[in-house]
A and B are shown apart, each in its own frame.
Chain A
Amino acid sequence: EVQLLDSGGGLVQPGGSLSISCVVSGLTLSNYEMSWVRQAPGQGLEWLSTVSGPGTHTFYADSVRGRFTISKDNSRNTLHLRMNSLRPEDTATYYCATNLPYRENFWGQGSLVTVSS
């Protein structure tokens, strides 16, 4: 059974930093493109970032480029998102997901990040 476990969310002050992770079991991460998608309270889904299977190529939404960094540790089957210079509008539930364009799409349960003073 494939499972994605999001962790690391919490409360952070504006301008602060936070890292969230997604531990994957039941599949070999190096074979899968991985993405982060977020959802602000009561709002729709927003694609943020994608990393290729080998981890060599990364892509970002304009809203987070230069502030967020996606990475994956294939040996530990873990996806990371490092978030710097956080803003109140970054408050959202952050989901990890596999293979958005292809077969075998799985999602984590989500990790809530709140940016507030």
Chain B
Amino acid sequence: EVVMTQSPLTLPVTLGQPASISCRSSQSLVFRDGDTYLNWFHQRPGQSPRRLIYKVSNRDSGVPDRFSGSGSGTDFTLKISRVEAEDVGVYYCMQATHWPHTFGQGTKVEIK
């Protein structure tokens, strides 16, 4: 199975400052149709996950434009341009190119 490795696992951030999370896959996530099925999710304590980004860089409806996704092949990044208090929680990358689909370990974002 494809192993998804996130870094860092904990990210202390300052409000108003940028933040970045890395996600690497153990094999290429390019599907035979040419698309790359790499998602980013955010989960607050006690809540269901919410997807932020699909196919590497497409923001889901209602997701603020301070969130952006980039990358290709096996290396991907989620960036928050200016962190707000509501952004705390755990972020997961997930690949849906290969079966079984797999998630990264999660990155906990906390305010300094």
Contact = CB atoms under 8 A, between A and B. Distances in A.
B49 A45 contact: yes
B79 interface: no
A109 B39 contact: no
Contacts of B90: 44
A47 B48 contact: no
Given A44-B106, A45-B106, A47-B94, A95 B49 contact: yes
Contact of A44 (B92, B97, B100): B92
Interface stretch (A10-18, A77-85, A100-108): A100-108
A24 B103 CA distance: 24
Contacts of A46: 103
B67 interface: no
A47 B99 CA distance: 10
A109 B49 CA distance: 9
Given A44-B106, A60-B100, A100 B94 contact: yes
Contacts of B100: 47, 59-62
B48 A109 contact: yes
A37 B39 CA distance: 14
Given A95-B49, A108-B48, A101 B103 contact: no
Interface in A89-117: 95, 97, 100-103, 105, 107-110
Shortest 8 CB-CB contacts between residues of A and residues of B? A101-B96, A47-B101, A107-B48, A101-B37, A105-B51, A44-B106, A45-B103, A61-B100
A92 to B, nearest CB: 13
B54 interface: yes
A21 interface: no
**Most-contacted residue by chain B among A60, A101, A103, A107 (CB, 10 A):** A101
**Most-contacted residue by chain B among A59, A60, A97, A107 (CB, 10 A):** A107
Nearest to A46: B103
B65 to A, nearest CB: 17
Contacts of B105: 44
B60 A47 contact: no
Contacts of B104: 44
B92 A100 contact: no
B48 A101 contact: no
